[in-house]
Amino acid sequence: MPEQGRLSRPASPRVLVSGPVPPAGSVPAARDLSTVAAGLDAVQWIRVSGGRAPAGEWHPAQDVPDLWWASAPLAEDGLPVTGLPLVAAAQLAALLGGRLPTSAEWEWMAGRGRRRFPWGDEPPEPGSANLRDFGPGCATPVTAHPAGRTAEGLWDVAGNVWEWTTAPWRRDRIALLRGGSYNSLIQYASCAHANDVPGHLSSPGIGLRPVRHTPPTSGAAT
């Protein structure tokens, strides 16, 4: 449903859990990224303290530094910005003074190495995440599920839209999607789950959440 996202393009059918593939020609044309950045909702940055991330299915054990995270996936008029392939997503993050997180950083942010889901160990419910089993079947505002926030206050870490991450330790350097989308089953919303995809993929079910090493001059929360 292209009217529910932003910058959506027809997606490869390979990632069926990312969302429905809109018909060709039914999606708005992509805009210049500087224009996209100018039209974004204000980004609030939240500091998440670092630590030792245990080895997982997708990464070796490693130290994660203190990082400042966008409090929600980037959004315009409340809805997540979607449809950007990996390179464009990274460029948009850079325009905001950040970058895309690595998969290990994302997993640490989501679960701190101990939570099954971003909010705890309880399975998702309608108030905690927008998923296939109990969502409307399209993207929703990024602050629509307060029960799904992390302890640090980050929104929409599970469900609604996948989030781009990188995996620089992998030889193939393939991208990893994290968090699940509105068309995902419950298991895809777990902190440990990832979906390896080619970086050229774009979908109405894929968004992004930038991260940065230094505190922003404004819009910060500790």
Q: What is the pLDDT along the chain (222 residues), one digit of tens a residue?
A: 333 444 433 333 233 333 333 333 223 345 689 999 999 999 999 999 999 988 888 888 989 999 999 999 999 999 999 999 999 999 999 999 999 999 999 999 999 988 999 999 999 999 999 999 889 999 999 999 999 999 999 999 999 999 999 988 777 767 999 999 999 999 999 999 999 999 999 999 999 999 999 988 866 665
Containing domain of residue 135, as a range? 1-222
Q: How many angstroms from the chain centroid is the CA of residue 54?
A: 21
CA distance 123 to 129: 10
Total domain count, the chain? 1
Those residues whose C-beta lies under 8 Å from the C-beta of residue 26, and which sit 6 or more positions away, are 2
Specify the CATH number for the domain of residue 175. 3.90.1580.10
How far apart, in Å, do the first and last CA atoms of the chain sit?
A: 36
Counting DSSP H helices and E strands in the chain, the numbers are 3, 12
CA distance 4 to 80: 9
pLDDT for 218: 67
Cβ–Cβ under 8 Å, residues 173 and 196: no
Nearest to 177 by CA among 159, 155, 194: 194
CA distance 117 to 141: 20
CA distance 32 to 24: 20
